Amino acid sequence: MRILVTGGAGFIGSAVCRYLVGERVSVLNVDKLTYAGNQDSLREIEKNAHYDFLKADICDRAAMDAAFANFQPDGVMHLAAESHVDRSITGAGDFVNTNVVGSFTLLEAARAYWSALPPGKRENFRYLHVSTDEVYGSLGADGLFQETTPYDPSSPYSASKAASDHLATAWGRTYGLPVVISNCSNNYGPYHFPEKLIPLIILNALHGKPLPVYGDGCNIRDWLYVEDHARALLTILTRGRVGEKYNVGGRNERRNIDIVRRICAILDREAPTANKREKLITFVADRPGHDARYAIDATKLETELGWRAQENFDTGIEKTVAWYLDNEWWWRPLREKVYAGERLGLVGAA
Ligand code: NAD
């Protein structure tokens, strides 16, 4: 099997590439290498015969046409995106460009390629559009996001992802492109860029820096270990029903403040200091449009396709902290970049 992965140098995309190559799937990773793309995350597979890399922008139609023509994929996993909510608030243009225009360009290139496939290959082709639960907006204290939950995005990021989900659905209904969509909850794990909540807190706590927490810290996210997401995506691409959506999540709801405290406790145990790291917690003005709660109902994926999250949050967060303690070579150069402008006030929520 041959899969064209977009955004494979990012956090989730690199986990997907590592997983697919381990499953002996041939991968072409198409990535523009923005600030969030990092080839170091692919070091363990970069020389593998099943892996190839193309530096290209998904907004570049000619480059996408050439990628399809040269690689001849059996399927696409589209992950390339601008993904950081805080950056979308201060600079929405890149989000509209990559997430909407880029997704449109990729759909058009995929459609042209797929339309010209010979019978046999054509029916088996799949286009997996990878999205987020943030398109559903915010939940109250009760309830879970279903696949049928109406879209109600709050941030420029989630609005741009919602727009791209609608484009993908329309390309399926209008042109017959065999599209499947996944909407996943917040991911965490190794190789997560140090501006996102969990790696930011781990590394700030290690360095004795303030631990910025938005508002009162009571916003709830539903956390999934990134390797569980990678497995879910291959399951959905190969066995999901065309035209369907699948929610992906591991039933691990946590308040932001509880995550920060947990990380502090793990680090106090693993790398003791004179003062408890919780003292570094600094509440900062809330993010505008900050959704209160996300929580995924993944029953459809679990019952129809037999996928289940393998990692629960308590073990996953231990593994994640241990990974950051062991892999300074990976995060040190990125952290120096992130802190070039001391962007502390801007970060702190997933
Ligand atoms: P990321 O920011 O870590 O990685 C994005 C990757 O896309 C980077 O390698 C970047 O270089 C690449 N990219 C950006 N613009 C591009 C362009 N124009 N052309 C080609 N490549 C480009 O993001 P992530 O957290 O790994 O998320 C991946 C996907 O999963 C996104 O579509 C995101 O919306 C979705 N998602 C993320 C989460 C999460 O918790 N991180 C949860 C659910 C869904």
pLDDT, tens digit (0-9, with 9 covering 90-100), for 80-98: 999 999 999 999 999 999 9
Tokens of residue 254, six digits: 């946590």
Q: Relative to the CA of 188, which ligand 1 atom is closest?
A: 40
pLDDT for 53: 98
Percent of the chain with pLDDT over 90: 95
Q: Please give the average per-residue pLDDT across 329-333, as a whole number.
A: 96
What SS3 class is residue 281? strand
- Residue range 334-345: mean pLDDT, rounded: 62
pLDDT of residue 336: 83
CA–CA distance, 40 with 37 (Å, rounded to integer): 9
Is the per-residue pLDDT at 227 higher than 60?
Answer: yes
Average pLDDT over residues 276-305: 96
Quote the CA–CA distance of 156 and 82 in Å, as a whole number. 10
Query: What pLDDT, on the 0 to 100 scale, is given for residue 154?
Result: 96
344 in a structural domain: no
Q: Is the Cβ atom of 157 under 6 angstroms away from ligand 1?
A: no
How many structural domains are present in the chain?
1
Specify the residue for token string 């991968």.
27
Determine, yes or no, domain membership for 260. Answer: no
3-state DSSP assignment of residue 294 = coil
- CATH number, domain of 172, equals 3.40.50.720
b vs e for 67-86, b when ≥16 Cβ sit within 10 Å of the residue's Cβ? Answer: bbeebebbbbbbbbbbbbbb
For residue 13, report the distance from its CA to the centre of ligand 1, in Å: 7
DSSP states of 88-116 as a string?
HHH-THHHIIIIIIIHHHHHHHHHHHHHT
How many angstroms separate the CA atoms of 172 and 135, rounded?
19
Which strand ranges, in their side-by-side order, compose the sheet holding 26-31? 51-55, 26-31, 2-6, 75-78, 126-132, 179-184, 245-248
Residue 147 domain-assigned (yes or no): yes
| CA contacts within 13 A on the Cβ side of 131 | 35
**pLDDT attached to residue 111:** 98
Nearest to 324 by CA among 312, 315, 332: 332
Q: Percent of the chain scored above 70 by pLDDT?
A: 96
Averaged over 124-137, what is the pLDDT?
98
- In this predicted structure, the answer to whether residue 320 has a pLDDT above a threshold of 60 is yes
Token code pair at residue 195: 């501006």
CB of 9 closer than 6 angstroms to any ligand 1 atom: yes
Report if residue 164 sits inside a domain: yes
Beta carbons of 180 and 238 less than 8 angstroms apart: no
Across the range 257-278, mean pLDDT stands at: 97
For residue 113, which amino acid is it? Y
Q: Is the pLDDT reported for residue 62 higher than 60?
A: yes
For residue 151, the CA-to-ligand 1 centroid distance in Å is 20
253 sits in the region (left: phi over 0; alpha: psi -120 to 50; else beta) called: beta
Residue range 175-197: average pLDDT? 97
The pLDDT score that the predictor gives to residue 339 is: 66
Ligand 1 closest atom vs CA 157 = 34
pLDDT one-digit tens code per residue, 17-50: 999 999 999 999 999 999 999 999 999 999 999 9
* Mean pLDDT, residues 192-218: 95
Checking if the pLDDT of 341 tops 80, the result is no
Q: How far is the CA of 34 from the centre of ligand 1 (A)?
A: 10
Ligand 1 centroid, distance to 279 Cα (angstroms): 33
DSSP code per residue over 8-68:
TTSHHHHHHHHHHHHTT-EEEEEE---TT--GGGGTTTTT-TTEEEEE--TT-HHHHHHHH
The residues annotated as belonging to the active site are 133-134, 157
Q: Which of 4, 5, 11 to mutate to test the pocket of ligand 1 (most atoms within 8 A of CB)?
A: 11
> What is the ipTM score, two decimals?
0.99
Q: How confident is the model at residue 335, as a pLDDT?
A: 86
Residue 334 lies in a domain: no
In this predicted structure, the answer to whether residue 342 has a pLDDT above a threshold of 90 is no
Q: Is the pLDDT at 345 greater than 60, yes or no?
A: no
Protein residue whose Cα sits closest to atom 42 of ligand 1: 186
Give domain status of residue 90, yes or no.
yes
Q: Which atom of ligand 1 is nearest to the CA of 350?
A: 40
Ligand 1 binding pocket includes 80 (Cβ within 6 Å): yes
Range of the domain at 135: 2-193+222-254+293-313
Q: Residue 90: phi, psi to the nearest 5?
A: -95, -15
CA of 305 to the centre of ligand 1 (A): 25
Which residue do the tokens 């993904």 mark?
Answer: 83
pLDDT beyond 80 at 318: yes
CA 208/CA 245 separation, integer angstroms: 43
Q: Where are the alpha helices (DSSP H) in 116-245?
A: 121-124, 156-175, 197-206, 226-239
Domain contains 77? yes
Q: What is the mean pLDDT of residues 292-299?
A: 96
Say if 340 falls within a structural domain. no
Average pLDDT, the chain: 95
Mean pLDDT of 326-339: 89
Token duo for residue 75:
């399927």
